[in-house]
Amino acid sequence: MSLTLTADDATALARANLQAHAEQARGAFAGNTTRALKADVVIFLAWCRAAGCPPLPATPETVARFIDAMGEQKAPATVRRYVSSVSTFHRAAGLANPVEAMAVKLALKRLHRAKGRAQAQAAPLNRPELTKWPPGTHKQT
């Protein structure tokens, strides 16, 4: 005897998994992390709707196209965060993770070759820099 889920059953199961994950994860992440994850997933859902692609479960090709599209307007670090959020979204729904596929890894490599991967590093804040600040604005050690 084999068990076959209909599309409606699979959607209901994914929704139930997402609700259970939300309850289990409550308080486990910083507020900014939760807000960023939600915002990233909303961006992915909107892009999928506009592109006519199902967001859940997304295919690796859909995620690769999303990376290519976002790479045209966003910094590589932002796109990587989006991809991480898409991965979390799928894992939380109990679905296969499309981000692990070669098509997605190659899309990220394309992005990094086109735009670069390194981010500008802020200059260090050291003693010579601190001495330039007005007295009382930093603790002397």
| 90 touches 37 (CB < 8 A) | no
Query: Averaged over 109-114, what is the pLDDT?
Result: 93
Query: Which range (9-13, 49-53, 59-63) has the least confidence?
Result: 9-13
Question: Taking the model in full, what pTM does it have?
Answer: 0.75
Distance CA 76, CA 71 (A): 7
More confident call, 80 vs 10: 80
H-assigned helices in the chain: 7-25, 31-51, 60-71, 76-92, 102-115, 127-130
Q: Nearest CA to 25 among 13, 37, 14? A: 37
Four-point Cα dihedral 107, 111, 112, 115, nearest 10: 170
- How far out from the chain centre does Cα 38 lie? 9
Cα gap 103→63, rounded to integer Å: 8
Position 128 pLDDT exceeds 50:
yes
Residue ranges of domains in the chain, CATH in brackets: 28-114 (1.10.150.130)
Q: Which pLDDT band holds residue 24 (cuts at 50, 70, 90)?
A: confident
Please give the pLDDT value at position 139.
63
pLDDT of residue 60: 98
Mean pLDDT of the chain: 87
Higher pLDDT: 82 or 139? It is: 82
Model confidence band, residue 115 (pLDDT cutoffs 50, 70, 90): confident
The percent of residues in the chain predicted with pLDDT above 90, rounded, is 56
C-alpha dihedral sign at 134, 135, 139, 141? positive
Radius of gyration over alpha carbons of the chain, in Å?
21
- Choice between 3 and 12, residue whose per-residue pLDDT is larger: 12
